[in-house]
Each structure stands twice: as structure tokens, then as C-alpha cells.
Amino acid sequence: GAVVSQHPSWVICKSGTSVKIECRSLDFQATTMFWYRQFPKQSLMLMATSNEGSKATYEQGVEKDKFLINHASLTLSTLTVTSAHPEDSSFYICSALNPLRRRYQPQHFGDGTRLSIL
Amino acid sequence: DQQVKQNSPSLSVQEGRISILNCDYTNSMFDYFLWYKKYPAEGPTFLISISSIKDKNEDGRFTVFLNKSAKHLSLHIVPSQPGDSAVYFCAARGNAGGTSYGKLTFGQGTILTVHP
């Protein structure tokens, strides 16, 4: 089955640090990837849609200058949390969509990144 | 505006019995519904899906039912096993095209506990 790899799985860093999270589609070329955020005991909230070769589409209320998304290749999307602060601490999850079979195909998720800002 | 709702935060069932997880939605433009299973500190794992043109889809122990008129779907797990204990999310996809094609709206999740 499809595999999506997300790295790192856990990050602890000081306030003010920028953190980059990678999302790789391992066995298909994903023109579209999605970035979600989950707070404890809450649902997954879509942050942005990452499209290869074009700008990401951000959901309402998500600061594009705070959460930089780059989708430079068909297998890699990155999310950079710039100048992270404690309120950015959360669980970030990416997913990928197979463009060749997307009509009735599910998104495949990475294992997520636990970000803790001290 | 919560377009996808799972009104039961938790469900507890005995091993071997049926688990029924429910999900309601408000947006009639959703054309595809999915159920995901999630363990703590892991990403969701796809379980089963159903398109809006169907009312039932079955895969082994898992069956999803869709009632479009009621805007309601449910996931049946039978027989339930202790390994099924996890958080279950329903998700819905709109049929809009463009660069946001395929984006999912998730419910809040239901914690299923299956007791031996």
C-alpha cells in the first residue's frame, strides 16, 4: 500500500527557533499534499493544501508567513514553523494524495510530528 | 461551523459484540466519506470509505452505511476485538475541483474501547 513518511517524529526546541518538518511520499508521486494540526483530544484541522510547483493554499486563520510550505518535488513537501512559540506546540500531520487514482482514493497519512516549544 | 460531527466522544463495548460509531454531516456537497483509525502519536490509518452514490460498503469486519437523506453515516465493526481500541475519525470530502481538490473535513473523533 501507499506509504507516507514524515520526519522528524518529535521535536523539542526553544522559543524563537524555526522548525522544518518533512513529508515524503515513498511509492507514488504526490502532486497534492495536505498539512494538518491536531490539539489534544481534538480533531485534525486542515492547515493548508500543498501543490507541487505552485503556492500552497492556506485555510482561513492560518498564518502563511508563520507556516511556510514548500512542495518543490513530486515526493516531498516541507512545513517550516518560523520563530516557533509555545502556542505552536501541537501534533502536525501530513498526508498525500495519489493523483492517478484520486477520484475515490483516500489520503495516506504520515505518522505525525510532535512539536514541543519550550 | 462543524460540518462533520461525531457526537459520541467515547464508546465502550465487549469483545465479540458489535461496535457502532456514528457521524453526521451538514454539507450536501460532500461526495466521499472515509473512516480512519488513529492511535496516539501516530497518523490516521485508512479503514474504509464510501462514495455518495452508495449506501453500504463492506470490508471484512467493517461496514460503513450512508444515509444521504439524513446526512448520517455509521461504521459497524463486528465482531469487535481488543485491538480495535483506538480513536475513530470520520471524514468527508467535497467535490469541488481546483487546487484544493481532495481536502477532507474531519469529525472530532470517537474513542472506542473494546474490553476482553
Evaluate the CA torsion angle A93, A98, A102, A108 in order and state its sign: negative
Alpha-carbon distance A45 to A57, whole Å? 14
Confidence check: pLDDT of A91 > 60: yes
Mean pLDDT of A28-40: 89
> Does the CB of A109 have a partner CB in chain B at under 8 Å?
yes
Mean pLDDT rounded to a whole number for chain A: 89
% of chain A residues with pLDDT over 90: 68
pLDDT of res. A117: 95
CB-closest option in A42, A57, A108 to B108: A42
CB pairs A-B closer than 8 Å = 61
Which grid coordinates belong to B115? 474490553
User: Considering only CA atoms, which of A42, A104, A99, A56 is closest in space to residue A74?
Assistant: A99
Which residues of chain B neighbour A112 with C-beta distances below 8 Å?
41-43
Alpha-carbon distance A30 to B115, whole Å? 39
Mean pLDDT of B83-102: 79
Confidence check: pLDDT of B1 > 80: no
pLDDT of res. B101: 61
User: At B56, is the pLDDT very low, low, confident or very high (cuts 50, 70, 90)?
Assistant: very high
First to last CA, chain A: 37
Confidence check: pLDDT of B110 > 90: yes
Rg from Cα positions in chain A: 14
Alpha-carbon distance B86 to B99, whole Å? 32
How close A64 gets to chain B, by Cα (Å)?
Answer: 16
User: At A97, is the pLDDT very low, low, confident or very high (cuts 50, 70, 90)?
Assistant: confident
Alpha-carbon distance B54 to A115, whole Å? 40
Residues in chain A: 118
Confidence check: pLDDT of A63 > 90: yes
Which residues, at least 6 apart from A115, have a Cβ–Cβ distance to it below 8 Å?
A11, A19, A21, A81, A84, A88, A89, A90, A91, A92
Mutate to test the interface with B, among A37, A43, A114 (most CBs of B within 10 A): A43
Task: Judge: A49–B99 Cβ closer than 8 Å, yes or no.
Answer: yes
Mean pLDDT of A79-92: 95
| Strand runs labelled E in chain A | 4-7, 10-13, 19-25, 32-38, 44-51, 57-58, 67-73, 76-81, 90-97, 108-109, 113-117
Mutate to test the interface with A, among B5, B32, B42, B48 (most CBs of A within 10 A): B42
Q: Which residues of B touch A (CB under 8 A)?
A: 32, 34, 36, 41-46, 49, 51, 89, 99-109
pLDDT of res. A103: 61
User: At A104, is the pLDDT very low, low, confident or very high (cuts 50, 70, 90)?
Assistant: low
